[in-house]
Amino acid sequence: MKVVVTGANGFVGARVVQELVKRGDEVHAVVRATGERRRLKGIPSLRLLEADLLSAAGQETIAALGAEACVHAAWYAEPGKYLSSLTNIDFVGATLDLARSLAQGGCRRFVGIGTCFEYDTDRGFLSERTPLAPVHLYSAAKAATYLALKQLGLLSGMQVAWGRLFYLYGPDEYPDRLVSSIARALLRGEEARSTPGLQIRDFLHVEDAASALCAVLHSDLVDAVNIGSGQPVTVAAIVQQLGAICGRPDLVRLGARPYAAGDPMFVCADVRVLRTATGWSPRWSMADGLADAVGWWRGSKGG
């Protein structure tokens, strides 16, 4: 299948590209002319396409490929800024314009990437039927894009699926995320300061998230679908396991940081739709996945 992947050099996008290439798809990886490409090095049979999604010319370039399918992983995600950035609004418009152009060009399937924070996170296990209640511009922009894409799909005949990601981790993650920040501190021989860690989360290795998104792409599944492990785990358990993997449990400091204001205490996916429709299951256990992430940081100059 001829597939175009936007945001192909990102944390998730690069793994999606790798997974699609393994499956034998003809993959066209969209990156900006100035975009970093280190995550894409060494992937065989990869076709790079320089295009800026936020420009009309870039969208025309992407649409001109005549792709049969699209995984849309591009979005603004600068740590510390993306939740309230007005750039989210730009990506709503750009995503809808791109999807419309692809549909007009005969694209059969479009898989967009959303977030678990589109949901009302006070509802316990979150299913695709959980009401939406975004509390940041980022999650509101994602939810708005999902709703509009759903209608575009009904009007155009292009099958639209929307993968809502839960908590991801893995090699080459942003340094200040939970797993990466704790691992880096421990590997440097510094205290790993955490909240008390009673928050319950749904963590999934980034390679498993990519394989799930590709499974969705190669299915007939439409509408929203949760991309998560379905297994609740406390932040404390993750931090303590990282301490053990790094050989420095003595440096773990649970309770050294306060809980963030408004941080939900329970966020976990109901993944029955994903599993039933695609037969997908994760490849990485939590223990092996965390060891994989630690191993990457141990060998990285950024560790």
The CATH number given to whatever domain includes residue 121 is: 3.40.50.720
Which domain does 27 fall in, by range?
2-166+204-227
β-sheet bridge partners, residue 49: 30
- What would the pLDDT profile of 147-204 be if each residue is shown by its tens digit? 999 999 999 999 999 999 999 999 999 999 999 999 999 999 999 999 999 999 999 9
Residue 137 vs residues 10, 84, 158, 264: alpha-carbon distances, Å:
21, 5, 27, 17
For residue 79, what pLDDT is reported?
84
Q: What is the pTM of this model?
A: 0.96
| Pair (23, 127) in one structural domain | yes
Closest CA to 69 of 1, 154, 145, 8: 1
279-301 average pLDDT score: 94
| Pair (187, 239) in one structural domain | yes
For residue 80, what pLDDT is reported?
87
| Pair (262, 143) in one structural domain | no
For residue 260, what pLDDT is reported?
92
| Pair (214, 110) in one structural domain | yes
What does residue 237 show for φ and ψ, rounded to 5 degrees?
Answer: -65, -40
| Pair (162, 184) in one structural domain | no
| Pair (12, 55) in one structural domain | yes
Reading the block at residue 226, the tokens are 């949760």
Burial 28-57 (b: 16+ CB within 10 A, else e): bbbbbeebeeebbeebeebebbebbbbeee
| Pair (35, 177) in one structural domain | no
Q: Give the SS3 label for residue 285.
A: coil
| Cα separation, 108 vs 111, whole angstroms | 10
For residue 138, what pLDDT is reported?
98
What does residue 203 show for φ and ψ, rounded to 5 degrees?
Answer: -105, 140
| Pair (195, 112) in one structural domain | no
| Pair (29, 123) in one structural domain | yes
For residue 303, what pLDDT is reported?
56
| Pair (173, 160) in one structural domain | no
| Pair (88, 70) in one structural domain | yes
Question: Residue 240 is part of a domain; what is its CATH number?
Answer: 3.90.25.10
To the nearest 10 degrees (0 to 180), the angle between helices 56-63 and 87-104 is 30
| Pair (77, 211) in one structural domain | yes
Report how many domains make up the chain.
2
- What would the pLDDT profile of 227-250 be if each residue is shown by its tens digit? 999 999 999 999 999 999 999 999
pLDDT surpasses 70 at 116: yes
